[in-house]
Structure 1
């Protein structure tokens, strides 16, 4: 059994579809921060896919109280994934980081002069006792969008990624 982190965007919807097609048990986790007008649309996309294919789904609606939103959101979602993995008896979570994310992370680390054991993103890492795998690191975002379109997989586009409000977005748009 694998736990899939699924936002409803093209990366995670492609991952969900690819993993479903390989067989084996899947459990899906979605976090709806309700921070943007299309957040409920993305949740509906994930819900519909799970209902259509008979997949278990857990959704979290966290409440943001201030501070660095990106860091808070990351901690909230990984804590949620960890709890759900334990409830479901799952030891591995798959996340849809892809090649563009890997490069953005590397640039982010270099710009901040971070000293890291590993630059970019590892294929496999751990958070507490949970194994995290990133099987899409060889795919580009454009390739995953094309996969979804070719396979009839619905996805939403997070418009907050289109602006430069966050450092990662500025790096993404400048690459």
Structure 2
């Protein structure tokens, strides 16, 4: 188990670290922990706090994976995370790939819980009498993701109660479209692109012919 303490929430951050450490002891699995000066890093790199935390997190996960000889990095992203990501990408402006959601497999990263919604995970915890801690910052709209989670989606759900499932179904469709799109681009590239030395060319007349 690998835990990042971003030191952004005072004693709550330390409480989370202790909780995960104790959990690892109960499960008898190795525990890796790091403390980041996240705010300072974000200022130095001119990044938002969330982007800085994400960069620090994944770089450290990969370091641990290599050092310990682990095969994969497993994260707990779930369906709600996926929905929020797609909506943010859509409104921010993106191509087809941006609305295909969080990828279940990316390099050495695996995300096995993308199929399940947050309420289902909470129901499982309650049913199995498993304890957990809540990141209180998730309840406030300080970050864009939280605003979509706490305000935008509940408002949409008043008109379209099945909005979450509908979006998940659409994500599956977008993935299929993305596959077809990439196949077509690859097919056209083989027909249009010509190499001369180290440079690549697309003859204008040939391009116009295929656009008709």
What is the TM-score with the length of structure 2 in the denominator? 0.65
Q: What whole-Å deviation, never above 9, does each CA across 1:104-132 have from its counterpart, x for those lacking one?
A: 00000000112252521111112xxxx11
Equivalence for 1:31: 4
CA distance in 2, matches of 1:45, 1:153: 12
Q: Which has the higher contact order (CA 8 A, sep 6+)?
A: 1
Structure index of larger Rg = 2
State whether structure 2 residue 33 is matched by structure 1 residue 69: no
CA contact (8 A) 2:78 2:117 kept: yes
CA distance in 1, matches of 2:89, 2:71: 28
Q: What whole-Å deviation, never above 9, does each CA across 1:12-46 have from its counterpart, x for those lacking one?
A: xxxxxxxxxxxxxxxx1000112113111111111
Higher strand share: 1
Within 5 Å, give how 1:75-86 maps onto structure 2.
75-86=55-66
CA distance in 1, matches of 2:5, 2:31: 13
CA distance in 2, matches of 1:40, 1:83: 22
CA RMSD in angstroms comes to 1.2
Within 5 Å, give how 1:151-170 maps onto structure 2.
151-170=128-147
Equivalence for 2:21: 47
CA distance in 2, matches of 1:63, 1:35: 8
Could you tell me which runs of 5 or more consecutive residues in structure 1 were left unpaired when the two chains were aligned.
Answer: 1-27
Could you tell me which runs of 5 or more consecutive residues in structure 2 were left unpaired when the two chains were aligned.
Answer: 154-212
CA distance in 1, matches of 2:34, 2:96: 31
Higher helix share: 2
CA contact (8 A) 2:86 2:98 kept: no
Q: What whole-Å deviation, never above 9, does each CA across 1:122-145 have from its counterpart, x for those lacking one?
A: 11112xxxx111111111111111
CA distance in 1, matches of 2:51, 2:96: 18
What is the TM-score with the length of structure 1 in the denominator? 0.78
Poorly superposed stretches of 4+, deviation over 6 Å: none
Equivalence for 2:185: none
CA contact (8 A) 2:89 2:98 kept: no
State whether structure 2 residue 97 is matched by structure 1 residue 117: yes
